[in-house]
Structure 1
C-alpha cells in the first residue's frame, strides 16, 4: 500500500480570481487531515458543474483549514468570509468558538475574530463571520502582498463533526 500524505494540499487552479476578488473552492484550501477519509470528505473536481459540493468534516479534534491568495493590491482593503453549514448530525459545536484569522505577508500580524456555529441552523448555508467583518488592510508600502488566512478550532480538544465548507472569499472593499 502506497503511503500518502495525511493533509490535503490546496490546488491553485481551485482559486478563482475575479478582478480584485477571490473565490476559493474547497479543493483550493489546505485541510489538516483532509487527505484521510476517516476525517474529511473532499469533493471531486467538477469543472462543468456550477454547484459546489462542500468539503465535509467527518470528525476531528484539530480543525485547521487554511489558504492563501497572491497579488493583493497595496493600499487596498479586503474582507475574508467562509461559507459553511452544519449537517443534521453535526456534533461537538456546543459552546465551541471557531477562529477566523488572516495576515498580509509572512511577517504580518494576524487579525482575528471568533465565531460560534449555531447547531440549531443545521443544513443551512451561512456566511461567517456574519455580524462583523474580518477586514484586512494591505499596507501601501508592502512588498509581500500574499494574504494568509484560516479557520481554526484547535484549543478545546473536543471531537467535532458535520461541518461543511463550501468556499472562502476574499473581497475587495470599496
Structure 2
C-alpha cells in the first residue's frame, strides 16, 4: 500500500509536498511511518477540514492536532492499495477534560474502497479524559489491488459545536 496523505493527484504524481520513496513501489507522506504491517499517520499527514484556520484547530509540527471548535468534524486520508489484503482502520484520540459538545454525539470512523465504493463504518461515543483507540469494534475492509482506500473520522450530522478533541494518529493495518 502507499500513503498519499490527502494530497491532490498532481502533487502525488509530481512527488511534491514531502512524499518520500521508501521501498519501490511503496510511497508515504513524511508525516507517516511504517510500523511492521501498519502505516501510522500523524495529524499533519491527514486532511483536516478547517485545519489551516487557527480559529478552529491547533496543528503543531509534532504531537496531536487539537480541535478548538467546529460544528463539522472531518479528518480523512487516502491510501493506494497494492494487494487484496484486509485492512483495519483506527484513530488514536482523546477528549480533553474541558472538551465540549461530545455528550450524546456519535462519532463515525468510516472507510471505503475507491471513490464510488460503499462506506463501512463504526459508531463511537467519546468521553473526556482518556487516550483511546476508536472504533472499539474493529473496522476491517477488504482491499482491492490498484484501488484507493478512503478513510476518516467524522461528526457532521449533529450540527453541535464541539471542541477539545486531540487527534494523535491514524493507523491502517494489514490483517490476516
TM above 0.5, yes or no, is: yes
CA root-mean-square deviation: 1.6
Equivalent in the alignment of 2:143: 138
Equivalent in the alignment of 1:127: 133
**TM-score with structure 2 setting the length:** 0.80
Q: Which runs of 4+ in 1 moved over 6 A?
A: none
Residue 113 of structure 2, aligned match among 73, 80, 104: 104
Matched, 1:56 2:58: no
Residue 44 of structure 2, aligned match among 7, 24, 27: 27
Matched, 1:15 2:20: no
Equivalent in the alignment of 2:154: 152
Task: Provide the C-alpha distance between the structure 2 equivalents of 1:72 and 1:86, rounded to a whole number of angstroms.
Answer: 35
Task: Provide the C-alpha distance between the structure 1 equivalents of 2:70 and 2:106, rounded to a whole number of angstroms.
Answer: 15
Task: Provide the C-alpha distance between the structure 1 equivalents of 2:96 and 2:80, rounded to a whole number of angstroms.
Answer: 32
Task: Provide the C-alpha distance between the structure 2 equivalents of 1:163 and 1:55, rounded to a whole number of angstroms.
Answer: 8
Query: 1:81 aligns to what SS in structure 2?
Result: strand
Equivalent in the alignment of 2:77: 67
**Matched pairs, number:** 151
Task: Provide the C-alpha distance between the structure 1 equivalents of 2:120 and 2:95, rounded to a whole number of angstroms.
Answer: 25
Give the unaligned 5+ runs of structure 2. 1-5, 8-16, 18-28
1:20–1:72 Cα contact (<8 Å) kept: no
CA distances 1:52-78 after superposition (whole Å, capped 9, x unpaired) = x1000000000000111123422x111
Give the unaligned 5+ runs of structure 1. 1-8, 47-52
